[in-house]
Amino acid sequence: MIFGNNRPQVFKNIKKAVKAKQFNIPVELDDPVLTLKQSKETVEKYWQHTKTFFYRFTNNVMDTLYGALSNLSMSKSQIIGQENIKDIGPAIITTNHFKHTDSLPIRKLASLNHKKLYIVIEDINLLLPGLFGIIMNNGNMVPLSKSPSYLGREFPKHIKDVFKKKAWLLVYPEQEMWYEYRKPRPLKNGAYYYASKNKVPIISCFVEIQDLPKPEKNAPQFNKTKTILHILPPIYPDPHLSIRANARKMCEIDYKQKQAAYEKAYGKKLDYTFTNSDIAGYSGPID
């Protein structure tokens, strides 16, 4: 989920998942599990809500708040490589998923390029309490459901609607958030399938997490960090390949680009031997 306590246990879960080479599994604690019926009902309720006046009003407020948060979060961070996406149209953005707020740099990038940003989220995020729940239910979200009928019919329509608006869609192909994990993980094909199907490019990104030269405490056992959003060369569907062949090829290219970006940023080869330094900013033990 989007927040949680007991970070050391989460890091133990990450370490265990890395050892088992299970790079796309959940590691957070106490995430709810929805039945197919609950998943479908939750997502249907959201889409009905988006048709209300309350949603339209709150969506404008959330858009303003989200913009302010993205400006604040990027005040000490950087965006590198914007020349790679000059004048790019509707697209899917992919990046590593390492924090509750890691969409904020992407939101800033979209704003700088005068694009509206939509985000694919898991259905359980619609059930979050408090401010995060308000954001998830009133922001520009495209929820996933475990319902086969939704995935087969409704979800592709909502994706297409985003591109009709000439907007950008953020998809996390690593699927699950691994809190403060620095390394890019193997990617799932979904984002690239929809890019190929809708004939839009992938805006390939990688977020580097830097330690500050002089450590500053952010929380017990955590130091503040700085992020650098790297915009890598966009990846376009090949008109001579099938949708599925394109998806596989685009996915492979994106992973290689993220791997190269990691190796350049950190000055070392990417491997999946876990070390404590893989968790950015954390100074405590990981058993």
Residue type, 102: D
Lowest mean pLDDT among 58-67, 120-129, 183-192, 261-270: 58-67
Q: With 90 as the cut, is the pLDDT of residue 256 above it?
A: yes
The neighbouring-strand residues paired with 211 are: 225
Q: How confident is the model at residue 71 (pLDDT cuts 50, 70, 90)?
A: confident
Nearest CA among 205, 210, 230 for reference residue 280: 210
Contacts of the segment 218-221: beta carbons below 8 A, 24+ positions apart: 218/281, 221/7, 221/8, 221/282, 221/283, 221/284
Q: Torsion over CA of 82, 86, 92 and 95, rounded to 10 degrees?
A: -10
Q: With 70 as the cut, is the pLDDT of residue 246 above it?
A: yes
The percent of residues in the chain predicted with pLDDT above 70, rounded, is: 98
Q: How confident is the model at residue 2 (pLDDT cuts 50, 70, 90)?
A: very low
What are phi and psi for residue 176, nearest 5 degrees?
Answer: -95, 145
Domain spans in the chain, listed from the N-terminal domain onward: 7-278
Q: Token match 């376009």: residue?
A: 236
Nearest CA among 3, 61, 8 for reference residue 220: 8
Q: Which residues make Cβ contacts (< 8 Å) with residue 150, sequence separation at least 6?
A: 40, 43
Say how many Å lie between the first and final Cα of the chain, rounded: 23
Q: Token match 């969506």: residue?
A: 59
Higher pLDDT, 137 or 74: 137
Does domain 7-278 fall into CATH 3.40.1130? yes
Q: Where are the beta strands (DSSP E) in 194-261?
A: 202-211, 217-219, 222-223, 225-231
